[in-house]
Structure 1
Amino acid sequence: MAGEVTLVVVCTFVLMYYVQTADIADCTQSEALLNCSFYGFREIPNITHLTVPALDMSNNKISSVTLLDFRDAVKDILTSLNLSHNQISTINNSAFLKLKHLEILDLSNNLLQGEDLNTKVFDELGQLKVLKLERNPLKFVRRKTFDFMNLQALQHLDLSHCDIQTLEVSAISLPQLVYLDLSWNRLQSFNPDALKMMSDLETLDLSHNDITEIRSLLYLPELKTLILDNNGLRTVELRDTVSKYVEKLRVISLRNNEIRTLGQDDLPWDLETLDQIDLTNNPIQCDCKLKWIISNENIVGKNFTIQCMYPEEVRGANLLQLSDDKLICGSPNVEIMLAIGSSVVAVAIVIVILFCIIALRRRRIWIKKSKDGGGDYTAMYTRDDEDANHRVSISDERLVMRDSGRKSDG
């Protein structure tokens, strides 16, 4: 009996797991949204009637997306589709083909990987303006995944928190794109060739990656905000490339990096459009080598924050608020002590070298004498009238021998 009860429970659980019990009629509707979130859907239902422009299918158990063949009345009115927080790992090619009026598509917080996406997935979404893919384990974006031939109107693309390590050449080619978020990934370098035809891009967020240096940007004539926070950046040489290709830049954020000093050719200090540079929380050494910054007339009145980390006396201060006398490169006493210390060390090194040379020469002489017959010997014969014993002393550089125990015959 107990076994039969257990079997019934197991079968019931399996049926509940595999059979979709949710119904579109259970969803709630407001003036602008049909809310089917948290209803346990395992696939997108075939909606036959829709009177609102937005459909929320988030927080369900959907694992794949096939062709969404809604009725014409639905396709013509639907402009926003939310599929976030599901278990989607597969999207068939042309799955959204018939949603020609769709403007917002949210696929964030799913299980999509780089090989699951290609240019066919977003076929004919010519009206799409916002595409959210954050928090999918993409790892890479292949060539022409986001291409202007299909996504002609896309303005906002979110690829943050996707564990992206590689952007292939021409991975993103979107002339109408205004905002691109690539933050919280694992990019080790910025490859300008990965982004093509970005003539309208205004904001590029590359924060929270593993980029250690950045030396160039592509042609971004409308770029206004460049975010490079939390990257471990040590080298930033953007002056020339910004002057050539990014002429409307207003904000450069370089917070929480490893920048220690700043050269006159590192950043576009004299760019007229530039309003803000933020270098908070970098190990910047504010000494006499940075006096050129506070004397630069192009910086006066700008919202530039160059936070000092060293020396201790100015830690936390904004370089632009310090006077010349605060920017020093060591006191005279310190310099004298360093000079004396260097001299003592130099003399000690010379003495050690001379000692080694002398010791080496003496050793060579000793070895040569040994090879020539054992060296020079001196023999002395002495006789003591009061003692019948005779003494013979033979000596060289190594040995002195005395024989005082033998008697002489004559």
Structure 2
Amino acid sequence: MKIPFSILAFQLAFYYWNGIFAMSYTKMFGFYEISSVQIGNYVNVLSTILLGSLNGKSKLECFKTCSLNSDCLLIQFDSSKTCSFYKSIQSPNQSNSYTYFYKKIENKGIILEYTSQVVQDSKAVGSLVITNNVFYVKPFTFIDHLNLSNLDLSKNVITRLDENTFYNLSNLISLYMGTNKIQTINYKAFVPLINLETLYLNFNLFDYLNPNVFKGLKNLVTLYLNANSLKKIELGLFKDLKSLSFLNLNRNFLDKITLEFSSLISLKSLYLKFNQISVIEECSFRNMSKLIGLYLDNNKLKSINMSTFEGLDSLTELYMSNNLINSIDSGTFANLNKIVYLDISKNNLSYFENNLFSNLTSLLELRLSFNQLKTIDLDNQINLQILDLSYNQYNYFKKGLVSLKFLDLSYNPISFVNYSVIDSYITYPQLENLTLIGCQLVQIDSNSLKSLVNLKELYIQLNALNYLNESIFFGLNYLARVTMDKSLYGSKNFSTFYPNINFILI
């Protein structure tokens, strides 16, 4: 049936204005979107008090309902269009399908101003800590604090920073504003802080930063912006931060990495964990040749290509666990020959291109657990010391990794070990820890461990083993701990044969 144009227009207008009213309602009654990890800053998390829920109602209706209940402090929305109302919540859901809104209650905190006793008594100090439930700092409050180098206003309830909040603090080196309720920051708030080196703005409520807010902070070295609600990095936000070495943007709502990061030419550590990042724009790290650590865990990345990490010539640590990665181009790591630690665990990888890791000659630790891998090319990893391949699909593993000290093959479908997992004809392997938990093992040959003369710990519990030859540990003079099933231990008196080994029975 064809819908008359007038009715269709009315329906579209209804949904449009309902959305507009809902957004206005959040501001009118003081609702602010927060992440699940921020909830503990605003409501009690020691117990759960559920006040009720609505199913199939609009967000506008949910905001109205909560605003009329004085006990309602938190609204949880889920993907099934259900909103739940809480006074307190013990275990907020961490899933991306849930969103939370906090209802701001009128602050009863104090106003900090020039005439405040704590301000008057501290004019000559070099360091000042004020945690007196401050909710507003008046402009020019610190006008006479010429010697102040460290100012800590964290753990208050401050909601905004104005243009002259830090007027005359040109000697300030460190500013701590974390764990407040800051929603807005005037773009001139930090202008007087020409010598600032450390700035904490973590655990607040702002979802936007003016692109000029850090203008002039050319000496800033450390910046914490984690646990806020930032959805994007505005054009030019980092352009003046030429000395910045450390940047923490964990636990925001960023959905992509853009060219804005390429202006951070001195950055050494970049934390972007627990965002919504699904895209890394080409050349985003182009000028970041000093970056040492890049932390991208718990995002929504699906693929990594040859240009993703272009420019990161000094990178030594790369974390990408808990993403959705299903493919990595063969040349992705071609220029990352200084990588020491690489974590790509908990993704959707089923294979790697040959020679993917061939240029990673400095690699010491590789973590690939919780994927669907069956094979891997590690022929060039002669320096590798730690390898975690647990929770994959290997039914056979034998590599010439003579420097390897830790190998975890747990929960792979390995039925037989009648060979040495480390293939070495020239020197004895350095392996110290071998973990084969839950591998469906039915047999371990008595000679399969003979070459592992440096082995110290062996874990073989939760398998289908019903027999081990009593000679299996002969010659392993450093072996100090073996964890196995009780039933397997009961079949032999291993303690008599090996009094120096601690047998842990599961």
1:92 to 166, 169, 186: 186
| Secondary structure of residue in 2 paired with 1:170 | helix
Aligned residue runs from structure 1 range 133-152, under 5 A: 133-147=225-239, 150-152=240-242
Q: CA deviation at 1:82?
A: 0.8
Instruction: Say whether 1:243 aligns with 2:338.
Output: no
Identity %: 24
Deviation string, structure 1 residues 354-397 (Cα, Å, up to 9, x no partner): xxxxxxxxxxxxxxxxxxxxxxxxxxxxxxxxxxxxxxxxxxxx
Distance in 1 between residues matched to 2:110 and 2:388, nearest whole Å = 59
Residues in 1 aligned to 2:164 and 2:413: alpha-carbon distance in whole angstroms: 56
User: Which among 210, 227, 234 is matched to residue 326 of structure 2?
Assistant: 234
Paired with 1:282 and 1:107, the residues of 2 have a C-alpha distance of: 36
* Rounded Cα–Cα distance in structure 1 between residues aligned with 2:106 and 2:384: 69
Using a 3 Å threshold, how does the CA distance of structure 1 residues 134 and 141 change in structure 2: closer, same or farther? same
Please say if 1:260 is aligned against 2:350.
yes
Once the two structures are superposed, residues 225-245 of structure 1 have per-residue CA deviations (whole angstroms, 9 ceiling, x without a partner) of 1110110222122x524223x
Please state if 1:281 is matched with 2:362: no
Are 1:130 and 2:222 an aligned pair?
yes
**Aligned partners of 2:256 and 2:394: how far apart in 1?**
39
Q: 1:44 to 1:129 in 2, by over 3 A?
A: farther
Assess if the C-alpha contact under 8 Å between 1:44 and 1:62 holds in 2. no
| Contact kept in structure 2, 1:139 and 1:166, CA below 8 Å | no
1:240 and 1:167, CA in 2 relative to 1: closer, same or farther beyond 3 A?
closer
Answer whether contact 1:276 1:304 (CA < 8 A) is retained: yes
TM-score for both structures, normalised by structure 2: 0.52
Alignment-derived partner of residue 117 in structure 1: 210
| Equivalent position of 2:305 in the other structure | 215
**Contact 1:307 1:318 (C-alpha < 8 Å) held by counterparts:** no
Q: Secondary structure of the residue that 2:280 maps to in structure 1? A: coil
Question: In 1, are the aligned partners of 2:110 and 2:132 still within 8 Å (CA)?
Answer: no
Q: Which residue of 2 is the match for residue 6 of structure 1?
A: none
Instruction: Supply the distance in 2 between the matched residues of 1:70 and 1:127 (Cα, whole angstroms).
Output: 17
The answer to whether the 8 Å contact 2:163/2:189 transfers is yes
Tell me by how many angstroms 1:259 deviates. 1.8
CA drift of 1:37 comes to 2.0
Shift of 1:177: 0.7
Number of the residue aligned with 1:365:
none
Answering whether residue 368 of structure 2 is matched by residue 307 of structure 1, we say: no
Distance 1:32 1:233, change over 3 A: farther
Distance 1:171 1:297 in 2: 32
Matched AA of 1:75: S
Give the match for residue 188 of structure 1: 278
Cα drift, residue 304 of structure 1: 2.9
1:142–1:171 contact (8 Å) kept in structure 2: no
Normalized per residue, which structure has more helix? 1
CA distance in 2, matches of 1:304, 1:233: 19
Give the CA deviation at 1:52: 4.9
Is the CA contact (8 Å cut-off) linking 1:81 and 1:106 kept in structure 2? yes
Alignment-derived partner of residue 57 in structure 1: 153
* 1:193 alignment partner, SS class: coil
Aligned match for 2:170, one of 75, 78, 95 = 75
Q: Which runs of 5+ in 2 are unaligned?
A: 1-104, 397-408, 424-435, 437-506
**Given the two structures, how large is their TM-score scaled by the length of structure 1?**
0.63
For residue 93 of structure 1, report the CA deviation from its aligned partner.
1.9
User: Structure 1: which 4+ aligned runs deviate by more than 4 Å?
Assistant: 14-19, 21-24, 27-32, 69-72, 311-315, 317-321
Q: SS where residue 242 of structure 1 aligns?
A: coil
- Using the alignment, how far apart are the partners of 1:172 and 1:136 within structure 2? 22
CA distance in 2, matches of 1:16, 1:229: 40
1:209 Cα deviation after fit = 0.1
What CA distance in whole angstroms lies between the structure 2 residues aligned with 1:179 and 1:34?
Answer: 28
Of the candidates 298, 316, 340, which is equivalent to residue 411 of structure 2? Answer: 316
- 2:360 maps to 1:271: yes
- How far did residue 249 of structure 1 move? 1.8
Once residues 15 and 242 of structure 1 are traced to their aligned partners in structure 2, the CA distance between those partners, rounded to angstroms, is 52
Contact 1:109 1:135 in 2 (8 A): yes
1:88-139 per-residue CA deviation (whole Å, 9 max, x = no partner) reads 222122221111111111111112223x331x11111111101111111111
Hey, what's the Cα distance between the residues in 2 that align with 1:300 and 1:318?
Answer: 27
| SS of the residue 1:49 aligns to | coil
Alignment length, in residue pairs? 297
Segments of structure 1 that go 5 or more residues without pairing to the other structure are: 1-13, 327-410
**Contact preservation (8 Å) 1:227, 1:252:** yes
Check whether the contact 2:305–2:331 (CA below 8 A) recurs between aligned residues: no
| CA–CA separation in structure 1 for the residues paired with 2:145 and 2:325 | 53
The 5 Å alignment of 1:367-386 reads none
- Residue 68 of structure 1 deviates from its aligned partner by 3.5
